[in-house]
């Protein structure tokens, strides 16, 4: 059904599926859509659950700027971003 809607309305797949959509603005801000919650948080490492695994964010002075059911904003100096299945 989701694929049909995506094809019919000519929508990008990330709009109609539950895969994470990640937007990074420089090395200082990260926006993750379609997350499933925070698994681990410290000022140097954060793990966010997504539909098919986890995203690991490593850096300095990491903080959650805002969190909503569908999107989370992370700020700090981001050194590394890993997708772990």
For the chain, the structural domain boundaries read: 21-84
Edge to edge, the sheet with strand 38-41 lists 21-25, 29-33, 71-84, 53-67, 45-50, 38-41
Residue 6, φ and ψ in degrees, nearest 5: -65, -45
Contact between 77 and 61 (Cβ < 8 Å):
yes
pLDDT, tens digit, for every residue of 15-58? 667 889 999 999 999 999 999 999 999 999 999 999 999 999 99
For the chain, helix, strand, coil in percent to 5 are: 15, 60, 30
CATH code, residues 21-84:
2.60.40.2000
Residue 1 has pLDDT above 70, yes or no: no
Assess whether pLDDT exceeds 80 at residue 11.
no
Phi, psi of 24 (to 5 degrees): -115, 125
Calpha distance 2→31 (Å, rounded): 23
pTM of the model: 0.82
């Amino acid at each position: 059904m989701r694929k049909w809607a995506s094809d019919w309305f000519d929508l990008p797949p990330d709009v109609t599926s539950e895969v994470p959509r990640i937007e990074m603005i420089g090395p200082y801000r990260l926006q993750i859509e379609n997350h499933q919650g925070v698994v681990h948080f410290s000022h140097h490492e954060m793990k966010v659950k997504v539909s098919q695994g986890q995203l690991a964010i490593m850096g300095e002075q990491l903080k959650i700027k805002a969190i909503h059911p569908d999107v989370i904003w992370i700020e700090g100096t981001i050194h590394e971003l890993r997708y772990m299945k």
